[in-house]
Structure 1
Amino acid sequence: MSIPDDGLARVGLPLTRRQRDHDGRLQLSYWLRTAGGAEEVLIEGESAVAFVRAADHERAASVLQGLRGCSLRPLALNTLSHEPVCGLYADNLADWHEALNRLQQAGVALMEEDIRPVDRYLIERGIFAGARVVHRNGQLALTRDPFVPDLRLLSLDIETTLRADRILSIALQCGDQEVVLFNGDIPPAPGILPCADEAALLGALVEQVRRMDPDILIGWNVIGFDLRVLVQRARARGVRLCLGRDDQPLRVEQSQTGRWFARLNGRVVLDGIDTLKGATWQFERYSLEFVARELLGRGKLIHDPDDRGEEIQRLYREAPEALARYNLEDCRLVTEIFAKAELVPYLLARARLTGLALDKVGGSSQAFDNLYLPRLHRAGFVAPEYASGQGDLEVPGGFVMDSRPGLYRHVLVLDFKSLYPSIIRSFQIDPLGLAMGTRGDAPPEALVPGFHHAIFDRRHALLPGIIERLWRARDGAKHAGNSALSQAIKIQMNACYGVLGSRVCRFFDQRLSGSITLRGHQILQQTAEHIEATYGHTVIYGDTDSVFVWLGDDWPDQDTDAHGERLAAELNQWWHDQLRMRFDIDSALELQYEAHYSRFLMPRMRHSEKGSKKRYAGLKRQAEGGEALVFRGMETVRTDWTPLARRFQHQLYELIFHDRPWRTLLQAQVAAVFAGDCDADLVYRRRIRQPLADYVRNRPPHVRAAQQLEDNRRRQGLPPAYRVGDSVAYVMTVNGPEPAEQLRSPIDYQHYVDRQLLPVADSILPFVGESFARLVAPQIDLF
């Protein structure tokens, strides 16, 4: 983009970023969405950067001989091991990749070599979202700016033949602009554009996308299916599928992990499934039909998923206008899901917070880098070699207390707000603080002890300040009702702990992660001990950041909420005093009164007298005065249990928790199963975690059922139905598992009584002095 030097700087949001060599020099490309449209900004004169130890300077220089675009320069920076470093600079990517290869082959340690120049340019300047285009020394440059524009979304969906070897129609929806491109003859209608053949269809798509000019393309499995098929068909028809904002054709690539990526300059591509998961939305299934019905209360125009493929082919032949309506409705559903779930506001909030690109899936480690590295560099240090920290220690996960099984009345839940981030803040846990604290020259009053011989120098700790800023921002977002920003901050605060214990993070060191989790264990154990010793209540369970306090079945239940609030406030003061007295630090621990359960079940482990962990159910008092059944880890919230088991559990617990007669329910439910009245609720659903062919030694029921369906489709010449991550629906028959779509054998009703009803019932019946087998065995003998 060429910007006149008229003093009027442009501001925009970087949508896509790319690095390349141009005329032998590194060039950084950023497509910015400004208030007036989208423009490409080209940054010249930058270098790719990494670091090597100064002690390796001579050897590195020898290895790099002949690479004129590379240079080594001494810097006033050190490693976290307190060794001086040199900067490795490259003027172009060709020399850069050759330099890295040579140094790695020679065994020269590199630091921060994996950070792409196009990303480093932004994070070192604090550009996380909005950017201002300025002139410096005759060159364009970007600086930070709070600007965030309104973004235009285009929802795209295609319909194809069963083998996906021909595109039948393409639907596009962008705001109030809607069009269906149809391959072949179709009665004239507004919003429908007939195309003579597939090549014309693809050409029309390019024109429509250019006319609508979206910033973001959205869809359902839009990269792995829609865009991938479009690229394949464009290649087959000799069409340049230029859907970006330049003249480069769309590229769709698959990573080694199986994830599909779309390369499109100037436009972001967001898949609805991945985006929902990244924003921590959870659904039993992620089909468009299921998610739309859960969020929007309506689904596709073809409701039978088992016959959808054939029905699409029939509509194409016999009722093309109905196919067009179906195609367009899928686009509308995706658009409305994005709006309902506030996915784009969430991604924008995440970008402003962490600097992650809008289409970045996951990215916790990169977000940590974006927040931490600029501060580390300003402090005079560089990051260590990737995941080179201490990794041979025993570091437990979150604390899970042995539970006391039973059916209780009046259980309170006290929950530490963001426990791990608050531990980082309180105990000054930090990579640089660890490096300075273990050096041995800090005054004792500056040191805070950790675990596994970790010692943190509070004067140099960077991460606590980052966490504190995030914490304040989240409180502000919650107060303002900005749920998208609040969720983005919550995820990032928790990720600040998670990445330190993961080998995918350059700052991985188990002294860091162990000092967090082991401190969490200590805090929960001491909280439980103090509650029992001081207040006389019994702590029946504790899990990661929560304690479950039994007030007693004879609790008068007067001002119980006030008692819970008082408990939390007094415990917070106790912890404040403890940390001041023992460590001379300010406590950021914040215990909250979270819930009152009028009835609460802590079940036993199956075939054991020990209490279970991460499994409980209760009747929770609501703020407005009502009650709600809550299940954690139980059958009713697990997708690998049938609807029969989940519905039965809900009904049975509802009766027992309210002290109502429940025996009739058991007998009626068993009779209904054997009578065939519950057949629709006997379907299991489980995901395929790897290609079917990779299940060799262990072939669980859902895999055997999926293989039956795939074998039948192959005999019909149809493409595979399942990909990794797809959910398989199957039923247990007298001949074993069979796909729900091709049920041939009688259903094994005894299996469902033994494997679905009995475990659900016997998780609670022993606590009321009964057992499922004793109550229903005489009845089963009748069948």
Structure 2
Amino acid sequence: MMLEFGYTASVNLTSEAALQYQEGFIISRHGRDIGDVTELVFWVQTNTGPAKLVITGEKPVFFVANERVSAAQQTLTEAAFRFHCKALALCDFLHREMTGFYFNTISDATRASRLLQAEEFEPYEADVRLTDRYLMERFICGGLTFTGTAKQKNGFVEYRNVKAKASDYSTSLSRVSLDIECSEKGVLYSIGLDGEMDSRVIMVGPTPDDAEEMPWIDWVDNELELLKALNAWFIRFDPDVIVGWSVVDFDFRLLIKRAAFNKIDLRLGRGAEKAHWRDSNNSRQGFITLPGRVVIDGIDGLKTATYSFRSWSLESVSREMFGEGKAIDNPYDRMDSINRMFRDDKPALAKYNLQDCVLVNRIFADTHLMEFLIQRTRLTGIELDRIGGSVAAFTNLYMPRLHRAGYVAPTLTSENWIASPGGYVMDSKPGLYDSVLVLDFKSLYPSIIRTFLIDPLGLIEGLKQDDPSLTVPGFRGGVFHRETHFLPAMIENLWKARDEAKRQGEKAFSQAIKIIMNSFYGVLGSSGCRFFDHRLASSITMRGHEIMKLTRDLIEAKGYNVIYGDTDSTFVSLGRQYSHEEADAVGQSLVAHINQWWDQHLLDEYQIPSALEIEYETHYQKFLMPTIRGQDTGSKKRYAGLVDKQGERHIVYKGLETVRTDWTPLAQEFQQTLYQRVFDGEDIDDYVRTMVEDTLRGHNNEKLIYRKRLRRKLSDYEKNVPPHVRAARKADAVNEKLGRALQYQHGGWIEYVITLNGPEPLEALVSQYDYQHYVDKQLKPIADGILPFVGKSFDALSMPQLGLF
């Protein structure tokens, strides 16, 4: 059975009684050429163990507009390419009919598309990888049902003549946390491995007399034997997933390098297949491929799941989550300690090594990160280790549906890119308020897409229509077909799935759906997406502006004061202090009124049902909307509010110094205490004076540390060199003098203080602190943000004390 554009369709396996079939979950995917044919390999985990699915002979394809087919054929024939063409019932977004160009190998298809692009042809979808196309055209997202000719191998079953289709199958994956310890020159000392199947450290060194008391340490004679033992461990315990902290760009980069030095293959893939390393073309990032396994870096995974930490070091994340981390944090102290332990106390080094592995596993477990990544794959089909991946996820879901509607996907291009307006941000009304309500539109942008039928195909089909009754108007010339579209239904299905996941308490699944659903606007507004069209993105954001402004009018017509609005949230001052019961009643009444108004308005104006839903989110008993520093104008995306619910009081900070990593602990502690005192009506005069006095007397030195990231190479900073760069240069000057490796030349995090001689790094501090700097630049700005609203002045409170010094 063939689809009209030439792909093998999914097979109804259940109807083929003669074939045995089973379900699996894809761990890794690989495509390559074997001679004159393609070979696709999908490693899957099944309920009976790992399986290797080998598919040969799939033909790479791209599409060319019929009007240029003859010229393209001549160009490729003259270049001696082997290919065949097939006219298809497909067209591009300009409604030009398409022909498919099919090739025997991935290499030929890649070289042919590059030649045509150089000759100013447009080969559509030439950048789609064959493995991805095979899966997406069958709507396979992680789970699949397959059948084929089976052959038992050592530790897995290999299947050939494979047929596959989509399945909802999922499974838990076995995991090991890996961490290495090494010398400053990169010579391996030990490798830690912690997983449910085994936990141990492989250590270079003579076997001690008391080795039996430490069965979790394997002793090897040298680095070569260490790598051999690592290969053997993976064959024996066979994990699906390898996790770690900077595990790709540090641990595996070094393992690959040391394996090459020792002239040994790093065979960590399933079936003892070789590990493959690839450096990125335009960054310092590298990529590791282990057939049959997946490597997931904890930092990248947590960022993908939208976690945020003050610092991404393992020590900092561990302390923030568990209140514990490594005992040594300074890199040079750490290196000295590691060298000392390797020389004098190898069991201590082994414990230190294994601790990192255990901490990473705890982070993965507490954040349910592995579950999140599995659910993301089940929803979108992208690889488990894909960083970010919003564009790829959208493409996987949308492209096969587009094909079945008779279209090929547009080519990725950044030409004629027109930016769309951002989210609505209202001018704020600064002040210190009693009882402020926050009303929040639930998933505003996804609900706009659902309501107003915003969709790439819907735009193309809508623009064809002469009858306006067949379309829903957008902005900047966009109109959307009322019947022909995919994205609104995709979001509606995700929405329902998330509601069900929340009811079932499946937090990882719910979070995965939320991130994917909310990413669709960003994708459509990104020049990195092949479906970008400024009419799509603008029809979302500009509709959001309209909705927020009309909602503000509805609230103010009820007699309340809207003091701020931000993308999908509206802040409403009730004008006096309300009890929680009174505030809740007002909030629920406003929500009911607004939702009912939008339901009726959209039916009357556009004849469409509304998916818009505003919710009553928060009652702030006290609320501060500050001014822009040094001005009378209200700030944006910066506020603080006191929540007092059922006796639990806490202050929410948005955009203020407390939640910013580039302010000192002194400023953050001062802000938190000062705001709490103001909100509670407590005396603040003595507190401000004491904080200033203690700082000037040197009682707060441990709180005066700045921590900032160097985002470029140190040599790239030439003009207007900021303090943290000056501190980093001083640190590396000391490192060079002491004969140590330079630490900051390629970026990283620097901790420093401001002294009477300027910024100095914490690890090379020689001058006296500039205490007046911290009063003027850390305490005063915090105080000036709130004191004027209670009729006080930082200068008036602190100046009398300055005469003492």
TM-score calculated relative to the size of structure 1: 0.96
Residue pair 2:642, 2:652 contacting (<8 A) in 1 also: yes
For the Cα contact (< 8 Å) 2:465–2:471, is it kept in 1? no
CA deviations on 1:421-452 (whole Å, 9 max, x unpaired) are 000111111111111111233x3222111110
Partner Cα distance (1:607, 1:279) in 2: 37
Measure, in 2, the Cα distance between the counterparts of 1:6 and 1:49: 32
Aligned counterpart for 2:279 among listed residues 228, 251, 254: 254
Residue in 2 that maps onto 1:631: 653
Post-superposition offset of 1:11: 2.0
Change (3 A) 1:219 1:374: same
Question: CA separation in 2, counterparts of 1:242 and 1:571?
Answer: 62
Q: Distance in 2 between matches of 1:287 and 1:304?
A: 11
Aligned with residue 82 of structure 2, among 53, 62, 69: 69
Q: For the residues of structure 2 that align with 1:375 and 1:714, how far apart are their CA atoms?
A: 59
Separation in structure 2 between the aligned mates of residue 259 and residue 691 of structure 1, nearest angstrom: 15
Task: Find the counterpart in structure 2 of residue 265 from structure 1.
Answer: 291
Mapped pair 1:86 → 2:86: no
Aligned to 2:433: 408
Question: Partner residue of 2:225?
Answer: 200
Alignment of 1:326-341 (within 5 A): 326-341=352-367
Q: Structure 1 residues 324, 39: closer, same or farther in 2, change over 3 A?
A: same
Deviation at 1:105, TM superposition (A): 1.2
Q: In the alignment, residue 399 of structure 1 is paired with which amino acid? A: Y
Residue 557 (structure 1) shift: 5.8
SS in 1 for 2:622: strand
1:691 alignment partner in structure 2: 713
Per the alignment, residue 540 of structure 1 pairs with 563
Is the Cα–Cα contact under 8 Å of residues 387 and 507 in structure 1 kept in the other structure? no
Note the alpha carbon deviations across 1:97-138, whole angstroms, 9 max, x for none: 221121111101121111101111001101001112224999
- Provide closer, same or farther for how the CA distance between residues 681 and 252 of structure 1 changes in structure 2, counting only shifts above 3 A: farther
Q: More deviation in 420-429 or 705-714?
A: 705-714
Deviations 1:247-282, CA, capped at 9 Å, x for gaps: 443233331133221121111000111111111111
Provide the rounded CA distance (Å) in 2 between the counterparts of 1:778 and 1:70: 87
Superposition map of 1:517-596 within 5 A: 517-533=541-557, 535-553=558-576, 555=578, 558-596=581-619
Q: Tell me, in whole angstroms, the C-alpha distance in 1 between the residues paired with 2:768 and 2:279.
A: 42
Q: Deviation at 1:203?
A: 0.9
Per the TM alignment, residue 44 of structure 1 is displaced from its structure 2 partner at its CA by 1.5
How many angstroms apart in 1 are the aligned matches of 2:641 and 2:664? 21
Taking a change above 3 Å as real, the CA distance of residues 776 and 138 of structure 1, as seen in their structure-2 partners, is closer
Partner Cα separation in structure 2 for residue 92 and residue 483 of structure 1: 43
The answer to whether the Cα contact below 8 Å between 1:130 and 1:148 also exists between their aligned partners in 2 is: yes
Task: Answer yes or no: is the 8 Å Cα contact 1:218–1:272 preserved in 2.
Answer: yes
Check if 1:170 corresponds to 2:194. no
Task: Give CA-to-partner distance per residue, 1:626-662, whole Å, 9 cap, x none.
Answer: 2210000000000000111001000000000000111
1:229 maps to 2:254: yes
Aligned residue for 2:464, secondary structure, equals coil
Q: Secondary structure at the match of 1:519?
A: helix
Contact 1:216/1:270 (<8 A) preserved: yes
Counterpart code for 2:509: L
TM-superposed deviation, 1:70 = 1.6
Match of 1:37 in 2: 49
Q: Cα 1:64–1:79, aligned 2, differ >3 Å: closer, same or farther? A: same
Per-residue CA deviation, residues 498-542 of structure 1 (Å, 9 max, x unaligned), is 011111000111111011101101110110011101x10000000
1:748-763 matches, within 5 Å, as 748-763=770-785
Amino acid at match of 2:583: T
Q: Hey, what does 1:280 align to over in structure 2? A: 306
**Partner Cα separation in structure 2 for residue 277 and residue 308 of structure 1:** 26
Deviation for aligned residue 1:388: 6.3
- Of residues 537, 540, 543 in structure 2, which corresponds to 1:516? 540
Letter paired with 1:445:
S
1:121-177 alpha-carbon deviations (Å, 9 max, x no partner): 00110100111222499931221122212211111111111232x111111112151
Q: Which amino acid aligns with 1:104?
A: Q
User: What residue in structure 1 maps to residue 763 of structure 2?
Assistant: 741
The question of 1:657 aligning with 2:679 is answered yes
Partner of 2:508: 484
SS of the residue aligned with 1:536? Answer: coil
Could you tell me how far 1:39 is from its partner in structure 2? 2.0
Correspondence list, 1:371-410, <5 A? 371-387=397-413, 391-392=417-418, 395-410=420-435
Q: Which is worse superposed, 174-183 or 221-230?
A: 174-183
Task: Name the CA distance, whole Å, in 2 between partners of 1:331 and 1:79.
Answer: 51
* Distance (whole Å) between structure 1 residues aligned to residue 726 and residue 185 of structure 2: 23
Deviation per residue, 1:707-763 (Å, 9 max, x gap): 222232233333332475632111111111111111111111111111100000000
CA contact (8 A) 1:388 1:508 kept: no
Matched, 1:703 2:725: yes
- How much has 1:54 moved relative to structure 2? 1.1
Gaps of 5+ in 2: 1-15, 150-158
Matched, 1:427 2:452: yes
For the residue of structure 2 that corresponds to 1:82, the secondary structure is coil
Does structure 2 retain, via aligned residues, the 8 Å contact 1:437–1:447?
yes
> What CA distance in whole angstroms lies between the structure 1 residues aligned with 2:343 and 2:148?
59
In structure 1, the residue matched to 2:121 is 108
When the two structures are aligned, how many residues end up with a matched partner? 776
Q: Secondary structure at 2:715's aligned position in 1?
A: helix
Q: Which amino acid aligns with 1:461?
A: H
Pick closer, same or farther for the CA change 1:106–1:147 going to 2, 3 Å. Answer: same
1: CA distance between counterparts of 2:709 and 2:241? 29
Query: How far apart are 1:555 and its partner, in Å?
Result: 4.4
- Distance in 1 between residues matched to 2:405 and 2:270, nearest whole Å: 40
From the superposition, tell whether residues 5 and 30 of structure 1 become closer, same or farther in structure 2 (CA, over 3 Å).
farther
1:300 corresponds in structure 2 to 326
Q: CA-to-partner distance for each residue in 1:593-618, whole Å, 9 max, x for gaps?
A: 00000100000001111000000001
The answer to whether 1:55 aligns with 2:78 is: no
AA of the residue aligned to 1:179? R
**Distance in structure 2 (CA, Å) of the matches to 1:463 and 1:558:** 40
Q: 1:764 to 1:273 in 2, by over 3 A?
A: same
Q: Select the residue among 463, 476, 479 that pairs with 1:452.
A: 476
Q: Offset of 1:202 from its aligned partner?
A: 1.0
Q: In structure 2, what is the equivalent of residue 134 of structure 1?
A: 147
Preserved CA contact (<8 Å) 1:73 1:88: yes
Q: Distance in 1 between matches of 2:288 and 2:589?
A: 54
Alignment partners' CA distance in 2, 1:650 and 1:89: 65
CA separation of 1:718 and 1:466: change in aligned 2, threshold 3 A: same
Selected match of 2:641 from 597, 618, 633: 618
Q: Which deviates the most, 217-226 or 246-255?
A: 246-255
**Alignment CA distance shift 1:130-1:737 (3 Å):** same
- Quick one: structure 1 residues 505 and 303, their matched pair in 2 at CA, closer, same or farther if it must change by over 3 Å? closer
Take 2:447 and 2:747, find their aligned partners in 1: how far apart are those partners? 35
Q: Are residues 625 and 80 of structure 1, via their aligned partners in 2, closer, same or farther at CA, if it must alter by over 3 Å?
A: farther
**Unaligned stretches of 5+ residues in structure 1:** none
Deviation, structure 1 residue 297: 2.7
Deviation at 1:768, TM superposition (A): 0.8
Letter in 2 for 1:239: I
Percent identity between the two aligned chains: 46
Aligned equivalents of 2:530 and 2:746: distance in 1? 29
Distance 1:763 1:257 in 2: 41
The 1:758/1:186 distance shift into structure 2, 3 A limit, reads farther
Of the candidates 448, 453, 461, which is equivalent to residue 485 of structure 2? Answer: 461
CA distance in 2, matches of 1:476, 1:698: 53
What is the rounded CA distance, in whole Å, between the counterparts of 1:708 and 1:212 in structure 2? Answer: 48
Give yes or no for contact 1:242–1:248 (8 Å, CA) kept in 2. yes
**Equivalent residue, structure 2, for 1:359:** 385
Displacement of 1:472: 0.7
Shift in Å, 1:407: 0.2
Q: Aligned AA for 2:449?
A: I
